[in-house]
Structure 1
Amino acid sequence: MSAVGEVADPSMGMVKATAIIRDDDGIITVSSDNSVRVWLKRSNGQYWPSVCHFLTSAGRKLKIDHESRLVFIGQESGTVQMFELSEDLNVLASKRVFNAHNVPVNDLVLCKKKNWIISGGADGTISISEIGSGVKVSDFSCTIVPKNIDIDADSGVLFCGTSEGSIILVRISSDGVCSEVNKLQGHTSEITSILWEPNTNFLFSCSTDKTIMCWDIGGKKGLFLRLQGHQDIPINLSFKDMSLYSIGSNGGIVRWDMTKQRSPPPEWTESDSCEICKGPFFWNFKQMWEEKTMGKRQHHCRKCGKALCAKCASNQTVMPKLGFEFVPVRVCKECHDSVSDADKTPLAKHAALNRQCLNIEVDHSMRRVATINRNKSISLFNLEL
């Protein structure tokens, strides 16, 4: 990963979102000081703002349609404002304001097939508006507040990642009527990014629990794969040429080759005592009293799923085919001995950007990564993994 440049302006507030401009070496940013800025790269390698426009409230989310040059900004006030970026990149003209919510916008998704802009509000509402006319198509309240959203335009299903780790599926009819149709449970804590990949019919999600899930939505099989390769929290997902890219909060980036054969990890068994040494777990008061022994903490073998004590699960190994790529996980001795050196061959690649990131933007057309850093700067890299 080679560095392209860095944008740093002490007068700018904390950057909340950024978008890469494809027809020039530049970016757009929105920040906590209510500004939206277009940054272009000078011949000396430094970036300067060709546009600095101030909104009525701070921007939180940013989406750009590169073909039409329309820019959508979700704001703290709950509105979504649409701008058009001129071809010379020196004018950002306001075109329309969508009164989407009365609370801050959590996420935006552009549905070009329907010509809709869809936003999720901090109160759990989903707002759908027609881009050309500005008319609101629908309002819908989810049972849990969505933090991240994406859409399958062909089926009209909206995927909503929540703070509790579940993913709510909302079906949108042709006339905009919304209804919850399913909920996917797999993560144990807040969803940080969600991505629908229409060519494979896979839904990808990542969470503060450091796991990435691949859901086989097209095959209607529910949970498909669990990928674990991050020591930091994955906060961005993108997909290109059968490779899934995940980038974490400390700048760790993993490219998962999705052509490789993987298997879902086993279901964990439930037991009151270790399934190997038969020692009681700490809630098994009856056995603890009868054997006059202290209870043990429960662990699980990641290969067979048995409930084990720490001693019986003291062996560790990587198992890429089960999604455990770089960090060794607990297994029982029998499973540890059954894992060959060939079974440990990585199915993913890892690199480090060495940045404390608040947010990340990836553009595969430009082979470019933009990281929003905790020191208010934006770093740009070539995507070379």
Structure 2
Amino acid sequence: MEFILSEDYNKMTPVKNYPAHQSRVTMVLFVLELEWVLSTGQDKQFAWHCSESGQRLGCYRTSAVASGLQFDVETRHVFIGDHSGQVTILKLEQENCTLLTSFRGHTGGVTALCWDPVQRVLFSGSSDHSVIMWDIGGRKGTAIELQGHNDKVRALSYAQHTRQLISCGGDGGIVVWNMDVERQEHHCRKCGKAVCGKCSSKRSSIPLMGFEFEVRVCDSCHEAITDEERAPTATFHDSKHNIVHVHFDATRGWLLTAGTDKVIKDLQACTSEPNRRPSGYALYAVMVAIGLTCPRGHLFCFIKAGNGQRYKTNDDSKVAR
């Protein structure tokens, strides 16, 4: 559904309904430049609509239920990650689409996608606890695995001005990756030779290869790894709740998270406790408005809860309306 927000952000008026899917919608993305609404559903359908006319422009059936959706405006490429672990790239036209490629790198389902249009790099998070950086623009098939979570990756966000990737796990862990570091592909996990537990019991972290935690390496590599090579390239934080959505405000340096505990937190761990919070219902969708469109430039957060109700909080009063 499409809504019009009142000037004081206290009222949402429905104006348009998009009959896009036969079952629950899993992802929605609005492309302002093209006036398109992209969506995926549990019916394994990807669809795109014109936001002006509400007309359905086209659809594509995915191999599994989609759980990640990103779009590149310049090339009109859409990236779809699904529960089978596959990432599909489509080229969208006004009324049709072309399958460009699909690839796999995770042992679990894809849970989040994030696209950097400047470096032309796609990040995918998975239930296998890993993040993979795919070099789409280089067209060399380069994929760098990042290991820094102890639970499934639930959300991804990218800060272009600092070239930092923010990944959030189901256990509340937040990892901030420095993507200015040149990382290498791998597999001892250092020299590339296959190593089993009988061949080596040595383990070491190798951050330059994406392994912030210790992994198995062969004996010779373990002796050769220097302290500089073991220096972390990521920082670790605990959000104290299971994250389902993350939004990074680059202008303020704030990180907003929403969790299954019905709590919204910002970077300073300031918890929003609205008077009319959706008690007993999990939060599963968050939309953030910032900048000049908001009164006094404040940040407003619109939350949809499991009971179908919508709530509003802001960074000043912390009150839901």
TM-score range normalised by the length of the shorter chain: 0.7 to 0.9
Structure 2: 5+ residue stretches without partners:
270-321
Tell me if structure 1 keeps the 8 A contact 2:38–2:46.
yes
- Superposition RMSD on alpha carbons, in Å? 1.7
2:65 is aligned, of 130, 145, 152, to 145
When residues 313 and 85 of structure 1 are mapped into structure 2, their CA distance, relative to the original with a 3 A threshold, is: farther
Q: Partner residue of 1:278?
A: none
Q: Partner residue of 2:198?
A: 311
Tell me if structure 1 keeps the 8 A contact 2:195–2:217.
no
2:223 is aligned, of 337, 340, 351, to 337
Tell me if structure 1 keeps the 8 A contact 2:256–2:267.
no
Q: Partner residue of 2:85?
A: 165
Q: Partner residue of 1:355?
A: 241
Shift of 1:95: 1.6
Tell me if structure 1 keeps the 8 A contact 2:157–2:246.
no
Q: CA–CA distance in 2 between the matches of 1:139 and 1:262?
A: 37
| Equivalent residue letter for 1:225 | I
Q: Partner residue of 1:199?
A: 118
Q: CA–CA distance in 1 between the matches of 2:236 and 2:17?
A: 42
Shift of 1:379: 2.7
| Equivalent residue letter for 1:192 | T
1:133-162, Cα deviation, whole Å (9 max, x unpaired): 111111222233322111111111111101
Shift of 1:383: 6.1
Q: Partner residue of 2:319?
A: none
When residues 165 and 383 of structure 1 are mapped into structure 2, their CA distance, relative to the original with a 3 A threshold, is: farther
Tell me if structure 2 keeps the 8 A contact 1:370–1:378.
no
Shift of 1:170: 1.2
3-state secondary structure, aligned to 2:208? helix
Tell me if structure 2 keeps the 8 A contact 1:209–1:233.
yes
TM-score scaled by length of structure 2? 0.79
When residues 161 and 383 of structure 1 are mapped into structure 2, their CA distance, relative to the original with a 3 A threshold, is: farther
User: Which range moves more in the overlay, 209-218 or 347-356?
Assistant: 347-356
Shift of 1:168: 0.8
Q: CA–CA distance in 2 between the matches of 1:212 and 1:98?
A: 33
Q: CA–CA distance in 1 between the matches of 2:183 and 2:44?
A: 35
Shift of 1:249: 0.9
3-state secondary structure, aligned to 2:142? strand
2:257 is aligned, of 371, 375, 380, to 371
Q: CA–CA distance in 1 between the matches of 2:249 and 2:240?
A: 20
Greater RCO between the two (CA within 8 Å, min separation 6)? Answer: 1
1:256-292, Cα deviation, whole Å (9 max, x unpaired): 11111111113xxxxxxxxxxxxxxxxxxxxxxxxxx
Q: Partner residue of 1:50?
A: none
Q: Partner residue of 2:297?
A: none
Q: CA–CA distance in 2 between the matches of 1:216 and 1:246?
A: 18
Q: Partner residue of 2:177?
A: 256
Shift of 1:126: 1.2
1:216-269, Cα deviation, whole Å (9 max, x unpaired): 111112233111111222111111121111111111111111111111113xxx
3-state secondary structure, aligned to 1:307? coil
Q: Is 1:110 aligned with 2:30?
A: yes
Structure 1: 5+ residue stretches without partners:
1-80, 267-300
Q: Is 1:119 aligned with 2:39?
A: yes
When residues 161 and 371 of structure 1 are mapped into structure 2, their CA distance, relative to the original with a 3 A threshold, is: same
Q: Partner residue of 2:306?
A: none
- In the TM superposition, 1:53-202 aligns within 5 A as 81-173=1-93, 175-202=94-121
2:151 is aligned, of 212, 232, 242, to 232
3-state secondary structure, aligned to 2:154? strand
When residues 180 and 143 of structure 1 are mapped into structure 2, their CA distance, relative to the original with a 3 A threshold, is: farther
Tell me if structure 1 keeps the 8 A contact 2:156–2:246.
no
1:171-222, Cα deviation, whole Å (9 max, x unpaired): 112x231122101221111101001111110111010111111111111122
- In the TM superposition, 1:47-58 aligns within 5 A as none
TM-score scaled by length of structure 1? 0.66
Shift of 1:337: 0.6
1:88-142, Cα deviation, whole Å (9 max, x unpaired): 1111111211111111111111111211000012122111111111111112222
Q: Partner residue of 2:164?
A: 243
Q: Partner residue of 1:381?
A: 266
Q: CA–CA distance in 1 between the matches of 2:66 and 2:141?
A: 20
1:211 is aligned, of 108, 115, 130, to 130
Q: CA–CA distance in 2 between the matches of 1:383 and 1:152?
A: 32
Tell me if structure 1 keeps the 8 A contact 2:108–2:127.
yes
Q: Partner residue of 1:59?
A: none
Q: CA–CA distance in 1 between the matches of 2:254 and 2:16?
A: 29
When residues 311 and 148 of structure 1 are mapped into structure 2, their CA distance, relative to the original with a 3 A threshold, is: same
